[in-house]
Structure 1
Amino acid sequence: MSNAKTLTFKRILFSLSITHSAVTAGILLFILFIFITTNDLILGFPTGNTAFVYLVPLIAMIAYFGSNYYFQKKLAQIPKNNSLRKKVVHYQQTCMVRFAILDMATFFSAIVFMLRSNVFYLVISLLLLLYLIKLRPTKVRLIEDLALSKEDKLQLENEDRPL
């Protein structure tokens, strides 16, 4: 097998970290751009007849709780007797979907902030972004999330060894 095609734990974690960083940095730059270009910021709770005052927090809560539910449910479906390779690849896919769900909700609230200039929507975007940053993939988090056996943990000790 060629070196470029060899799947190692280190490469999977690196790939997941790059994806997470790109998603997080992209939405952060988008929020910063909107904030800098917004004139006449509105402080306080939104007033008026707008569905966004209900829709943005609702979507944020659905994204938060839904992504956690999805993540836990998908990880629980991984058979304990699967190979470490299958577990880690499944984890990677599940994390990417989780990041995408949170990113979409963050992006939505940032768009509403752009449209309404109300800081309420910016705060929701930033809270979702902070949570997304908190989910940064690490070796320790992966081991805890997958509840790996001692044998699997030992196999991970050599990160450059093919899975």
Structure 2
Amino acid sequence: MTNTNPHNPKQIIKTLTILHYAYCLAVIVFGTTALFITDNASINFSNTDETFFYLIPIFAIGGVLSSNYIFRNSLKSIQQKSTLIEKLTHYQSVRIIRIALIEAPALLGIVIFMITSNQFYLIISAVLLAYMVLLRPTLPVIKTDLQLIPEQEREFREATK
């Protein structure tokens, strides 16, 4: 009989990984669809009068910076939690927020690409997607982020076998 309790470490990590891939896949599918349905797409750096030309990069940088800021500040309080389950549950929430703050400007960039046919915005979305992929939650990263005490580390190791 398998343990399907959503509050065990293995399920939390599995859910976090699936959600991460889903966020990335949403950007990939939406971007690919937009690329195929947008007519006369080209890269245009000369139309600097367009508001989006400055707004999208600022929104992208803001999304990355705010996601990192919120993540780092939240990690401090997560590391103070007493049990592994508490740490993982809060960590999962913070990771979802982090990836969503990066996904939002990526999706906006794709929408603006569809409106303007300027691939510049699609490139920004692709860079954000690459960053999202790099943030994939792995066991060593999770363990490092949570700064587990020896007892929690043993529990974590046993749960992720």
Alignment-derived partner of residue 153 in structure 2: 153
What residue number does 2:124 align with? 124
2:43 counterpart residue number: 43
CA distance in 1, matches of 2:99, 2:16: 10
Q: Contact between 2:5 and 2:11, CA under 8 Å: does it hold in 1?
A: no
Matches of residues 12-161 of structure 1 in structure 2 within 5 Å?
12-80=12-80, 82-159=82-159
Q: Which has the higher contact order (CA 8 A, sep 6+)?
A: 1
Flag the 1:46–1:99 CA change in 2: closer, same or farther, 3 A.
farther
Distance 1:6 1:123 in 2: 37
Contact 2:6 2:12 in 1 (8 A): no
1:5-60: CA deviation from partner (whole Å, max 9, x where unpaired): 36221111100011111111111100000011122122231505211011000000
Q: Is the 8 A contact 1:46 1:120 kept in 2?
A: no
Contact 1:20 1:136 in 2 (8 A): yes
Partner AA of 1:26 in structure 2: A
Identity of aligned residues (%): 30
Letter in 2 for 1:134: L
Ranges in structure 1 where 5+ consecutive residues have no aligned partner:
none
Q: For 2:136 and 2:9, how far apart are their aligned partners in 1?
A: 16
Paired with 1:15 and 1:73, the residues of 2 have a C-alpha distance of: 23
- In the superposition, relative to structure 1, how do residues 65 and 160 fare at CA in structure 2: closer, same or farther (>3 Å)? closer
Once residues 46 and 23 of structure 2 are traced to their aligned partners in structure 1, the CA distance between those partners, rounded to angstroms, is: 28
User: Take 2:81 and 2:32, find their aligned partners in 1: how far apart are those partners?
Assistant: 45
Which structure 2 segments of 5+ residues have no match?
A: none
CA distance in 2 between partners of 1:6 and 1:112 (Å): 38
For the residue of structure 2 that corresponds to 1:82, the secondary structure is coil
For residue 114 of structure 1, what is the amino acid of its counterpart? M
Deviation of 1:149 (Å): 2.1
* Structural RMSD (CA): 1.8
- State the distance in 2 between where 1:8 and 1:46 align: 54
**Contact preservation (8 Å) 1:113, 1:121:** yes
TM-score normalised by structure 1 residue count: 0.91
After the TM superposition, which segments of 4 or more aligned residues of structure 1 sit over 6 Å from their partners? none
